[in-house]
């Protein structure tokens, strides 16, 4: 009898759904972080991000269905056997990350973070002019599903949206203007808001250099909900301290967790959230992940081609 290991935080209704899909298999529901090496080694299917070091290129493992979009830890040689298909959860986090990014954008535009600081000091002070999405030029760097949804939300609020992507193509809905990544330096000076949702690739590490921050308006806002290593911590700090940009909000940092002694914590024009834009913070995300996992379980059972298969070259969905 084939064994299936599930480590995502499923509810009773999800357990029933999974058991019904693979009624001839032994399904083991184990809380995240509690799976044993024996359970991992015996599994034909794993649903969840078990530690990569525990898999050890298991020949039993036919399908590894991640609960994350990123798959970096599972790509090095020796982690997965050649027969193992790696699938991710791209699409599950679109709503929650987009909502978080829009919230950060409006927080910066309306100086809400500064008013919160004043509240703690008991000061009733008007901080003057604020920014509006209406008429603002928003640069979206990374046009995956989350980038597109964020672009559409900002467009709905009246912004002019420029999209940045690796390949040329037709302009998607919600994008007013499309440029290739190589052309970003040409459009950075026009942006009132730069939203980064870049994946982690060799080309995106330290993508936002000091030179690129200097190209931005001194009134520009920078928001990063992609990967922390897209900008070096010292470079971001300097851009904020020197007034190269007005403010920034990041859900990701180069080092995570961000050390308590990092000067970024104390930078007044920086908002930091601890990589919480994704995760299971809204119920919708878990439902999406379960849907993806169940569809791939069905395809595994029927011998069909999987969805959300990871491209080993990029680490993201093909």
Q: Same domain, yes or no, for 55 and 198? A: no
Q: What is the pLDDT of residues 187-230, one digit of tens each?
A: 999 999 999 999 888 899 999 999 999 999 999 999 999 999 99
Q: Are residues 160 and 228 in the same domain?
A: yes
Q: Which range of residues forms the domain containing residue 165?
A: 94-272
Tell me what pLDDT residue 126 has.
98
Residues of the chain with pLDDT under 50: none
Which residue's structure tokens are 């480590």?
Answer: 7
201 exposure class (CB count in 10 Å sphere: 0-12, 13-18, 19+):
middle
Contacting residues for 51 by C-beta, under 8 A, at least 6 apart: none
Is the separation of the CB atoms in 198 and 174 below 8 Å? no
- Give the pLDDT score at 155: 98
Q: Are residues 166 and 100 in the same domain?
A: yes
Query: Do 112 and 250 belong together in one domain?
Result: yes
State the CB neighbour count (10 A cutoff) for residue 29.
17
How many Å is the Cα radius of gyration of the chain?
A: 22
pTM for this prediction: 0.94
Q: How far apart are CA 13 and CA 236, in angstroms?
A: 45
88 and 105 share a domain? Answer: no
Torsion of CA 266, 270, 271, 273, to 10 degrees: -70
Q: For residues 126 and 229, state if they share a domain.
A: yes
Same structural domain, 116 and 265: yes
Stretch (H or E) spanning 21: helix 12-21
Q: Residues 45, 154: one domain? A: no
At residue 200, the pLDDT reads 86
Q: How far apart (Å, rounded) are the C-alpha atoms in residues 228 and 287?
A: 27
Are 204 and 289 in the same domain? no
With H, G, I as helix, E, B as strand and everything else as coil, classify residue 87. Answer: strand
- Examine the domain organization and report whether 108 and 60 are in the same domain: no
Q: pLDDT for 42-72, tens place per residue?
A: 999 999 999 999 999 999 999 999 999 989 9
- Determine the pLDDT at residue 168: 80
Instruction: Please count the other Cβ atoms lying within 10 Å of the Cβ belonging to residue 183.
Output: 11
CA distances from residue 152 to 98, 187, 220, 268, 276 in whole angstroms, order as listed? 10, 19, 20, 30, 22
How many structural domains compose the chain?
2
39 phi, psi to nearest 5 deg = -65, -40
Decide if 267 is inside a domain.
yes
């Amino acid at each position: 009898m084939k064994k299936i290991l599930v480590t995502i935080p499923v509810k009773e209704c999800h357990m029933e759904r999974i058991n019904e899909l693979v009624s001839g298999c032994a399904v083991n529901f184990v809380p995240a972080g509690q799976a044993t090496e024996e359970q991992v080694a015996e599994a034909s299917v794993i649903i969840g991000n078990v530690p990569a070091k525990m898999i050890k290129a298991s020949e039993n493992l036919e399908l590894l269905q991640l609960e994350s979009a990123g798959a970096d830890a599972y790509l090095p040689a020796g982690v997965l056997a050649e027969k193992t298909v790696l699938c991710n959860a791209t699409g599950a986090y679109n709503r929650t990350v987009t909502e978080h990014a829009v919230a950060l954008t409006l927080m910066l535009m309306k100086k809400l973070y500064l008013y919160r600081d004043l509240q703690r000091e008991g000061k009733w002070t008007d901080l003057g002019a604020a920014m509006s999405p209406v008429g603002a030029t928003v640069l979206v760097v990374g046009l995956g599903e989350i980038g597109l949804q964020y672009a559409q939300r900002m467009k709905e609020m009246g912004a002019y949206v420029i999209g940045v992507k690796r390949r040329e193509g037709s302009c998607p809905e919600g994008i007013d203007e499309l440029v290739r990544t190589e052309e970003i330096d040409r459009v950075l000076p026009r942006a009132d808001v730069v939203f980064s949702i870049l994946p982690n690739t060799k080309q995106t590490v330290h993508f936002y250099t000091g030179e690129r921050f200097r190209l931005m308006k001194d009134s520009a806002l920078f928001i990063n909900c992609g990967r922390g290593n897209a900008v070096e911590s010292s470079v971001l700090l300097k851009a904020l301290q020197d007034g190269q940009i007005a403010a920034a909000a990041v859900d990701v940092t180069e080092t995570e967790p961000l050390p308590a002694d990092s000067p970024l914590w104390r930078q007044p024009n920086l908002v930091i959230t601890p990589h919480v834009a994704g995760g299971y913070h809204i119920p919708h995300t878990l439902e999406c992940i379960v849907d993806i996992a169940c569809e791939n379980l069905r395809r595994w059972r029927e011998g069909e081609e999987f969805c959300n298969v990871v491209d080993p070259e990029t680490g993201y969905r093909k």
